[in-house]
Amino acid sequence: MELGSADAFDRMGTLGVEEEFYIVDADGRPTSGIDDLVYGSEPPEPLAGRLDHELFKFTIETQTPLIEDPDEAGAAVESVREALVDHAADHGYRIAAAGLHPAAKWRELDHATKPRYQAQLDRIQYPQHRNTTAGLHVHVGVDDADKAVWVANELRWYLAPLLALSANSPFWNGFDTGLASARAKVFENLPNTGMPTAFDDFEDFQRFERRMVEYGSIDDRGELWYDVRPHTGHGTVEIRTPDAQTDPERVADFVEYVHALVLDLADRYESGESGTTVRRELLDENKWRATRYGRDTDFIAPDSEGVVSLESFVERESDRLGVDGLRSLLGAESGTAIQRRIHEESGLDALCEHLTLD
């Protein structure tokens, strides 16, 4: 049984960015391409050893190399994307990015044959069979296991505003869901997803992780798909909430904020600050608000006294942490609004083209 270790948490502030994408044809429609792109040839740098696929044969995942300097995160993301687009073009494919692909109809798409995914399909059935989602995952290194668990606990309240700012998936299975992030709800149908409870310390988390494997609930620790988790293999705190982004500059904005927030929380842990107690139900309610309304909502405050608007959240956090990306995200038209506008004005073909990376 493969389990992580407290020893993995040995560096503070390093970064890693994982992005999930869609393999599409010349018209921007989903097509099976992992055999060619993942198994059929060796991808170029910086993808070598950092390119894998997800559940479907049209879903693919990239990882950046380890990022030591947060100022280089944007360039690392751009480099990986460019390499992926070129690698796909060499095999006659294109790459698209969004939380869900609007033209993807899960009943008509092939699943990957990798044993891990076949085992998940057999165990989970319907919810996994239809899981055509793509997300953005940000890892930040933390140098102490108990600190990582404390930080992950504290991050939970911040996840709903992050989802609201990232929402980029109104369409699923060919129709408008009425949600800002249909991906969040589709993915949440899987077990071991959504908002986790707080853990007392690393021993508490590892005990849970071990029991889930031992009792047959999951095959490996990677199947704990919560919105935030201490990653016991990489020694990071991993935020998994945002939708995949079409624009790489938006990815860089999210990475800037997540990195600054994790470092701030780590400092607060070091100074002996007590953790915030927030009801799980209120965290779920905030996530639902972000899922349904995206930018057009507010959030129940951590102390459950009153609400916090997204605008005030962005202003407070930008000033407090000295970051610029949150204001850029809020000031731009949301991914959900862009998708709906293009679909209404020009139709599905134009929307598929918009989501395709150059």
**Is this model's pTM higher than 0.85 or not?**
yes
**With b meaning 16 or more CB within 10 Å and e meaning fewer, what string describes 254-287?**
bbbbbbbbbbebbeebeeeeeeeebeeebbeebb
Please check the confidence at residue 1 and state whether its pLDDT lies above 60: no
pLDDT of residue 256: 98
Share of the chain above pLDDT 70, in %: 99
Please check the confidence at residue 319 and state whether its pLDDT lies above 60: yes
Per-residue pLDDT reduced to its tens digit, 36-88: 999 998 999 999 999 999 999 999 999 999 999 999 999 999 999 999 999 99
Confidence of residue 358 (pLDDT cuts 50, 70, 90): confident
d(CA 260, CA 321): 6
Count of helices and strands (H, E) across the chain: 14, 13
Please check the confidence at residue 92 and state whether its pLDDT lies above 80: yes
H-type alpha helices, 32-114 = 34, 73-90
d(CA 88, CA 108): 22
Domains and CATH numbers, the chain: 6-355 (3.30.590.20)
Q: Tell me how far CA of residue 91 lies from CA of 103, 321, 322, 351, in angstroms.
A: 21, 44, 43, 23
Specify the amino acid at residue 56: F
- What is the DSSP track for 132-194? -B-BEEEEEE-S-HHHHHHHHHHHGGGHHHHHHHH--B-EETTEE-S-SBHHHHHHHTSSSEE
Environment class of 238 (CB within 10 Å of its CB; exposed 0-12, middle 13-18, buried 19+): buried
d(CA 335, CA 312): 20
Per-residue pLDDT reduced to its tens digit, 124-156: 999 999 999 999 999 999 999 999 999 999 999
The torsion defined by the Cα of 249, 79, 64 and 69, in degrees rounded to 10, comes to -70
Sign for the CA dihedral angle at 227, 259, 180, 157 comes to: positive
Cis omega (within 30 of 0) for bond into 46: yes
d(CA 166, CA 159): 10
Number of Cβ atoms within 10 Å of the Cβ of 151: 24
Share of the chain above pLDDT 90, in %: 97
Residues in the chain, how many?
358
Q: Tell me how far CA of residue 64 lies from CA of 83, 200, 279, 283, in angstroms.
A: 11, 31, 35, 30
Compare 61 and 220 and report the one with higher pLDDT.
61
pLDDT of residue 4: 75
Summary mean pLDDT of the chain: 96
Please check the confidence at residue 269 and state whether its pLDDT lies above 70: yes
Residue 49, both tokens = 């050893």
Cα separation of the two ends of the chain? 42
Please check the confidence at residue 2 and state whether its pLDDT lies above 90: no
Number of Cβ atoms within 10 Å of the Cβ of 99: 33
**How much is the average pLDDT of 6-26?**
97
* Whether 64 contacts 77, CB under 8 Å: yes
Any bridge partners for residue 18, and if so which?
Answer: 63, 137
Environment class of 130 (CB within 10 Å of its CB; exposed 0-12, middle 13-18, buried 19+): middle
Per-residue pLDDT reduced to its tens digit, 154-207: 999 999 999 999 999 999 999 999 999 999 999 999 999 999 999 999 999 999
